[in-house]
Amino acid sequence: MKTKIKVHLVSVLALTLAISGCYYDNEEDLYLGSSTCDTTTVTYAASVAPVFAGYCNSCHSGSTASGNIQTDSYASVSANITRIRGAINHQSGFLSMPQGGGSLSPCDLTKIEIWIRKGMLNN
């Protein structure tokens, strides 16, 4: 009789663990706000420059800019957009940036792409 009770308790415990392990994580619940990407008003100053400031300017600014690419000014970014675009999108034939790290977020890449498609305005 004791063996039957033990088997029953173990079965109930196993079933409880199995059911609780079937939780499906929802990215929106896990990372609040991370799945939203506001691309309604993309501008250089508010959308693009902050991405470069956060990921690129530490190596790509001033007279000693790595690869002779400056990302801290509109003039340099717009003049070198083909190289920058290839690098940040990890395209074949370009040195992937940020170097030694992962890629920019899909949201940041989308904002830069929208800015390019809208004519790369200095706004």
Residue span of the structural domain in which 111 resides? 44-117
Domain count, the chain: 1
Label residue 89 by pLDDT band (50, 70, 90).
very high
Q: Position 48: which residue type? A: V
Residue 107 within a domain: yes
Residue 77 within a domain: yes
- The average confidence (pLDDT) of the chain is 83
Residue 9 within a domain: no
Is pTM beyond 0.75 here? no
Q: Between these two residues, 31 and 6, which has the higher pLDDT value?
A: 6
Residue 112 within a domain: yes
Residue 109 within a domain: yes
Residue 23 within a domain: no
**Radius of gyration, CA atoms only, the chain:** 24
Residue 10 within a domain: no
DSSP letters, 100-116, are TS-PPPHHHHHHHHHHH
